[in-house]
Structure 1
């Protein structure tokens, strides 16, 4: 299968699942898909991100070699679909030590931005919470940010925020 041609066919759950099924747990095919995830053309990267999500949901280890590159990609302020899929995928991954600081900075940036989407905020909150297990000194800062955030947030963010605040103590 030519992944780029398949991605160009349609932006749908069915197409993303077709691609994910083809990729399976094959690291070489996943690498091809990740090159499309990082593609300059938004439509290509957006559709690839959808397929990547399906692959990683089934085979999370496939993402490990790309975690640092995905975090670096956040510095370029990618369009919302890439940002959303990146933080969604990273909330269940072990983050390399050398990338933790950058990712944490981006998560706090997303949490405090009035323009950020609900999904990006919710996933960022989870990542920041996960990183407080490594850096407990950040718990108080995260609590302050979440308390401020949930005052004017959507129900999804409020719900996740309250769960994380309860866990933080």
Structure 2
């Protein structure tokens, strides 16, 4: 079995190379490393930093596997298209996260939040940022109305499809 330092060195070598996937097997133990290719989603995405084509490798380790065991690394949730970026629930419009990332209520730590409870928003109003892989993705309200509830805290990790805001449409 590889030592942790050897695994770290392998990660660095894979990260610095043009290799997208690496598999290693020894005595029933498997290590699979795969780079995740960055994708840009929808028109609400704005790059504030220079984009990187490839991020650090994902490492999965399975020890003492049986012959029928399969080790896979998935690159997406497989749910794309099942949850829209916004849903209407009763008389309230729900703004959901279009990706996994970190929720930011303001453009910078010393700035005021994009929206507060009771604020009026338009279809194209930016309500927050979700940071994913060092890309700041501005999320738009997609509805005209009043913010009646903010469901997440600044700096909180959010999941794909997680509810962020409730807006009462006008």
TM-score range, shorter chain: under 0.3
Q: Which of the pair is proportionally richer in helix?
A: 1
More RCO (CA 8 Å, sep 6+): 2
**Greater C-alpha radius of gyration:** 2
TM-score (norm 1): 0.27
